[in-house]
Structure formats: C-alpha cells, structure tokens
Amino acid sequence: MRFSSRTPADLTPNPISKAIQKAVRGGIIDLTESNPTRCGFHYPPSILESLGKPSAFIYDPQSFGLPEARQALADYLNAKGQKVAMENIVLTASTSEAYSYLFKILGNPGNCFLVPTPSYPLLEHLLRLEGLELVPYFLQTLANWPVDRDRLEKAAPEACKGLIVVNPHNPTGTFLSGQDVDSLGRLCEENQWAYISDEVFSDFTYPGHAFKPWTPSGSLSFRLGGLSKSLGTPQLKLSWILLDGPAKILDECRDRLELVADTYLSVNTPVQRALPDLLAFAPAFQKQLMARVLHHRQFLSEQLQGLGPAMVWPAQGGWYALVEIKGKRALDEPIVLELLEKHRVLIHPGSFYDFPEGCFLVLSLLPRPEVFQEGVVRIRKYLEEKWGK
C-alpha cells in the first residue's frame, strides 16, 4: 500500500522524542506543558453546568455556527474595542481546523503560504495535509524580532496564495511592529494574497504593551482565535475565524467558506449554546493565567541573572519564555537531552521551532509554581556547572 504524501514518508520518532518517551516513564519535570487544564488553574463548576442546557439537546445545524453563539462572540470582542459583526464570524472546532478551512478555499495542491520562522511547528503539518507548501519568511534575531522584509519579497514564489502572521508570536512573544504590519499588508494587497492573522495569544498581553488588531483594507483577511487559549479549555473545541476584506470578494469568500463549513458541521451544539456563559468567565481565567506567567517570568529572570552566557529574551505577551545561550550555536538539542537525562527536566530546543541561528531554549510559563520553580532551579544548577557564573 502506498500512502499519500500528505503524511510524512518517515514516521520514526527523532532522538528527543525517543528520550522523552523513555524519561517520562520515570517521572520528569515537564516545562513544555502547554495544556492549561493540567496546570492547576481554577475553573468554576458552572463551566460544565452551562454545557448541560436543555437547548443543547436540539440539533440545529448552521454552517457558520448558531447565531446566538456568534453574536455572543461579537459582543465579547466588541467589548474589547474590536469592531466585529456577527455575519463575519465563522465558528470552527479548533484553530487548526480554521486554518484547514482557509487553506481549502484559498489554495490548490502545490500552492504555498508564507509562514514566519522561527515558529510553533503546526503550519507545516496543516499545509501538508491540504497538499500545500510552506515558504518560510524570517524574523530577525534582534530586539522584538522584526520581519526580514527584503528577504520576504525575494522569497515569495508565484504560487503563493497567502501570508500568515502570528500576533503575538509563538514562541518569541512579540507583537508585529507598525512598520511590519504596514509593509506585510502592502505586499498582500499588491500580490492579492490573503492575510491570515493568528491571534490565539492576544488575550495574554503583558503590562505596558497593547494588542492592536489590524488587517489590510485591500485584500481578504482572516483573524483567528479560540477558547483553547482565551478560556484555557482546548477540550471544549471552539474557535473562530473573523472575516474582512473588500465587499465583493468578501461575499464570495463567505459563500465558499459556507460550503466547506457545511460539509463538516464540526462544532458541537452544547459548546455553542454555552458560549455566552463561557465567555463571561474568560476575563477571570485570563487574569489567573497572566498572574502566573508574569510571576514565572520574573522568577526565571532572577534565577538566570548573571549566569554565564544565558539570557532571557524580553517578550510582550503569550505563554512562553525564550532563553538564549549566547555564542553556543547548535547546542540546543544536546542541552535539552542532557537536562532531560541527567536532571529530569524537559524543555524544548530552538530547533523544534526552526530557529535559523543561535542556541535557543523554550520554556512554557504555565506549569504549577512548585513544578516551574523546581525545574528552573535545576536548569540554573546545570548551567552553573557547565559554564560557571
């Protein structure tokens, strides 16, 4: 049997995955944990109760989702100062599924999308599953990770159908600058590319920074978000696409998306009926998570302060911390393996995110305080032994 090339030819786990599988059995401190439901946050029981409404038992299939759920989401976003009309909201079961809908309407097999690099390794899989290709564009290893715009313009092939931004970015935790936003928007308008803005972490903006939703006026644009991050409930399976663009093309886009959404009808009814109640809890969850993330960042910075070549990169939002080991190129995987095997702490190497240069380590800022602190202390001791103070 020959399978399609939508899944990789070689499925053998890499050395880090093998080491993780082995180490996990003996118990480890997992500082890659990014599932909030395993990190000891408080979720009120009313979340589950809201899923049990009698109305949830009636199946009323609607391709873009139930109007009451879409209206609740529009109200939630408008209360944050965004201008979103219910007609321009499409509900999906996850942000990954939202991408897949967009790729289906925008790209033919062999077409490609521009994807920021380094980046969370999700898009290569999502694109591949649709028979599409990823063309990287690069963020420069400089303060705030600006886009390498010259290289992007030269890299974009004819078959390009869209440009993806992640704002704030994962794992750098930085927002796109006004200049980057302007020039990426201009490129989308000139080339008739779709602009896809992944905003799943935008509710987690650090003090002193602001998230400004933005889309180019002259091309189709799609902003993505979801409960997996905004409410810390990936298991509820509800995300959204916010559509925008010039009126005529937007109408056609809506019709085509409707066809795709109607084919799957994947969002379950209980979560849609519960959405107004669920969104009412979102600010309390976001407050808890932000307090933890900021506290962990502070602890990490204090522990690594003045420690050999280690440096915690500043960030503006999100759930992750980026540590650079200065001047130690290509050592990220050996460091991660040593930390795992000798000190039983798991973090991600920069290679997991395709950092094109430098030696980067990525830590989740979600774990419970006692777990995070023990893990960071072990990392500090390891770095001290290796490179001294």
Ligand X SMILES: Cc1ncc(COP(=O)(O)O)c(C=O)c1O
Spatial CA neighbour of 220 closest among 199, 185, 255, 194: 194
Residue with smaller CB distance to ligand X, 313 or 382: 313
Pick the piece of the chain touching ligand X (CB under 6 A) from 89-97, 126-134, 281-289, 345-353.
89-97
Q: Half-sphere exposure of 263 toward its Cβ, with a 13 Å CA cutoff?
A: 10
- Tell me the window of 92-100, 104-112, 254-262, 323-331 that interacts with ligand X (CB under 6 A): 92-100
Query: According to CB under 6 A, which one of 167, 197, 221, 239 is a site residue for ligand X?
Result: 239
Single out the segment in contact with ligand X by CB under 6 A; choices: 94-102, 185-193, 259-267, 301-309: 94-102
Query: In this chain, which stretch among 42-50, 91-99, 276-284, 339-347 interacts with ligand X, using CB under 6 A?
Result: 91-99
Q: Is the distance from CB of 318 to CB of 168 less than 8 angstroms?
A: yes
- Determine if 170 is a binding residue for ligand X (CB under 6 A): yes
Q: How far is the CB of 200 from ligand X (least distance, A)?
A: 5
Contact at 8 Å (CB) between 137 and 107?
no
Judged by CB under 6 A, which of 71, 82, 96, 140 binds ligand X? 96
Q: Report in angstroms how near the CB of residue 139 gets to ligand X at its nearest.
A: 14
> Which residues pair with residue 311 across a beta bridge?
324
Which of 51, 56, 122, 135 touches ligand X (CB under 6 A)? 122
Q: Does residue 200 touch ligand X according to CB under 6 A?
A: yes
Q: How far is the CB of 317 from ligand X (least distance, A)?
A: 12
In the complex, the smallest distance separating the C-beta of residue 158 from ligand X, rounded to whole angstroms, is 27
Kindly tell me the burial class for residue 122, based on how many C-beta atoms sit within 10 Å of its own C-beta (0-12, 13-18, 19 or more).
middle
Q: Does 365 bind ligand X (CB under 6 A)?
A: no
- Residue 228 in the binding site for ligand X (CB under 6 A): yes
**If DSSP codes are grouped into helix, strand and coil, which group holds residue 245?**
coil
Determine the 3-state secondary structure of 141 from DSSP. coil
For the purposes of burial, counting CB atoms within 10 Å of the CB of 206, is it exposed (0-12), middle (13-18) or buried (19 or more)? Answer: middle
Using the minimum distance from each CB to ligand X, give the nearer residue, 50 or 95.
Answer: 95
Nearer to ligand X, 228 or 269 (CB): 228
Please identify, using beta-carbon distances, which residue of 166 and 220 lies nearer to ligand X: 166
20, 106, 152, 166: which one binds ligand X (CB under 6 A): 166
Residue 94 interacts with ligand X (CB under 6 A): yes or no? yes
Contacts of 145-154 spanning 24+ positions with Cβ under 8 A: 145/169, 145/172, 145/174, 146/177, 146/179, 146/180, 147/116, 147/176, 147/180, 147/183, 147/184, 149/180, 149/183, 149/184, 152/114, 152/184, 152/187, 153/187
Measured CA to CA, the distance from residue 251 to residue 97 in angstroms comes to: 21
Residue with tokens 């936003």: 181
Q: How far is the CB of 232 from ligand X (least distance, A)?
A: 11
Task: Single out the residue of 226, 199, 215 nearest to residue 282, CA to CA.
Answer: 226
Under rule CB under 6 A, residue 234 binds ligand X: yes
Q: Which is nearer to ligand X, 196 or 323 (CB)?
A: 196
Q: Shortest distance, CB of residue 263 to ligand X, whole angstroms?
A: 19
Closer to ligand X by Cβ: residue 196 or 307: 196
Nearer to ligand X, 138 or 201 (CB): 201
Task: Return the closest-CA partner of residue 242 out of 220, 263, 211, 260.
Answer: 220
Q: Which is nearer to ligand X, 241 or 304 (CB)?
A: 241
Instruction: Find out whether 320 and 364 touch, Cβ atoms under 8 Å.
Output: yes
C-alpha distances in Å from residue 159, one per residue of 107, 123, 173, 193: 9, 17, 30, 10
Q: Please choose, from the candidates 141, 123, 142, the residue with its C-alpha nearest in 3D space to the C-alpha of residue 132.
A: 123
Length of the chain: 389
How many residues belong to the site for ligand X (CB under 6 A)?
Answer: 13
32 is a contact residue toward ligand X (CB under 6 A): no
Query: Which residues of this chain interact with ligand X, rule CB under 6 A?
Result: 94-96, 120, 122, 166, 170, 198, 200, 226, 228, 234, 239
